[in-house]
Structures are given as C-alpha cells and as structure tokens.
Amino acid sequence: MSTRVLIVGATSAIAEALARRYAAQGATLFLAARHTERAAAIADDLRVRGAAMVEVGAYDATVPDRAEALVAAAWEALGGLDVALIAHGSLPDQAACAASAALTRRELEVNLISVIDLLTPLASRMQAAGCGTLAVIGSVAGDRGRQSNYVYGTAKGALAIFLQGLAHRLAPAGVRVLTIKPGFVDTPMTAAFPKGPLWASPDRVARDIQRAIARGTHICYTPWFWRWIMLVIRLIPAAIFHRTQL
C-alpha cells in the first residue's frame, strides 16, 4: 500500500520539493492550497514522477471554518492518512506589525490559529485510527523572541508548545508529531533577502523532513547546524542579547 500524504500549503517551495520525493516513491497525495491552478500543475508533475494518485483541494488559511471540511475531504479521498504536512504560512513585515495590532492579529491567525484549526481534526482522526504522522513546519524564529521578527517568532514559538502537548497526548495512540524548524531557506518568500552560507535549498530541507518522518523523530532542525546556532542564541544572557541587532 502506498503512503497516503496530505500536504497543506502545497504550492510552497518546501512542500513541492517534499511532494516530489513522495511521488517518486509511488505515494498517493492530496494537495491543498489557496492557488488551486498552481496546485493542479504541481499535481500533473507529480503524476509523471510516479505518484499513484494526486488529488487537489482548495484551502485558504485566512478563511475560518474551512479546516475540518478540508481534512474530511482528504481523509475520504485517500482512505485515511499516513502523513499530514502543514506547510502554509506568511512572513510578516515586522515594522508594519509593530505599528498595527490588527496586522499582528492577522499574522498570528495565519501562522498559528489556522494551523491549530487543521491539527485538531487531524489529531482526532489519527488518534482514532491509531497511526499516522503530523508534521508541521515551524521555524527557528520560535526559539527566542528577537526584535527583527518577534511577531512571526511568537506564532512559531506558541505553535511549538502546542505541538509538544499534542505529541504527549497522541503518543499512547501511536500517532507521531514532528515539529520542523528550518533556518534560512531560499524560497520565493525570502527572495528579497541577501543569501549566505547558512541558507539551504528547499530540496535539502525536504530531504531532512522526509528522513525525520521516516525515523519518527519529534524535532527536526534543518539544516542540522541550526540546532546548535539556536542553542547559543537561547543561552545569551538578556543583558548582552539586548545590545544586539538580531
């Protein structure tokens, strides 16, 4: 039986790279995205690459009450799920958020609340089935609040705590929860940023995610060196940290 995979935010660069890897293994996939035409084009490519079946569904993280219907549609289309990857998100303008509570709320809803909306029905279904992996793309930004991106970091940090609790709840049922913490990734969302040696390609990150899912690990820093970079950042005393421009 082929692996049954739901990918939400399927048009993101990391999600597409991971979908290609699963397609090459003959997986069945359900791609959920806001831009369904782009998702349909990706689906055509995945079929050529070896996917046993690919379905496409519409999902907009800014529209409440769509999550449960999406999960039900994917579950029915694939006959259950082995892996659910939630990959959607937005990278807010920190300066604009600092000046607008409404914009800050909207970014928290996209990067945190909408993900919890999806995880809740997914967790219930997988718990009842007694198997499956919930994988969620967070960020190293959630490891310590920094002036340069603390709204985004707040969403990812809160999400990491939610996933810790969810993993604790679902472990007895045999359901695994994976928190993915990428560092800098060269994607369209970060196209305006100058690149350096710490940046990774979407395919490198996708490879690490697939390995982490296969191994059943709970936290995946990708590339691996971000685990140690963030350990150092977390350990910097506040009196010193507050003098930096991180």
- Interval 186-198: pLDDT, tens: 988 888 888 888 9
What is the domain range of residue 123?
Answer: 4-242
CA 17 to chain centre: 13
Please give the backbone phi and psi of residue 66, each rounded to the nearest 5 degrees, phi first: -95, -15
Average pLDDT value for the chain: 96
What is the per-residue pLDDT for 64? 75
Model's pTM, two decimal places? 0.95
Decide: helix, strand or coil at residue 29: strand
Confidence of residue 212 (pLDDT cuts 50, 70, 90): very high
Long-range contacts of 37-40 (CB under 8 A, 24+ apart): 38/11, 39/10, 39/11
What is the per-residue pLDDT for 142? 97
DSSP character at residue 143: G
Beta bridge partners of 5: 29, 83
Per annotation, catalytic residue among 22, 59, 150, 152: 152
Residue 108 near residue 153 (C-beta atoms within 8 A): no
Confidence of residue 134 (pLDDT cuts 50, 70, 90): very high
Residues sharing a CB contact under 8 Å with residue 173, sequence separation 6 or more, in sequence order: 126, 127, 130
- Type of residue found at 49: R
What is the number of structural domains in the chain? 1
Q: 69-111 pLDDT, tens per residue?
A: 999 999 999 999 999 999 999 999 999 999 999 999 999 999 9
Rounded Cα distance between 137 and 139, Å, is: 7
- Is there a catalytic annotation at residue 59? no
The CATH number of residue 19's host domain is 3.40.50.720
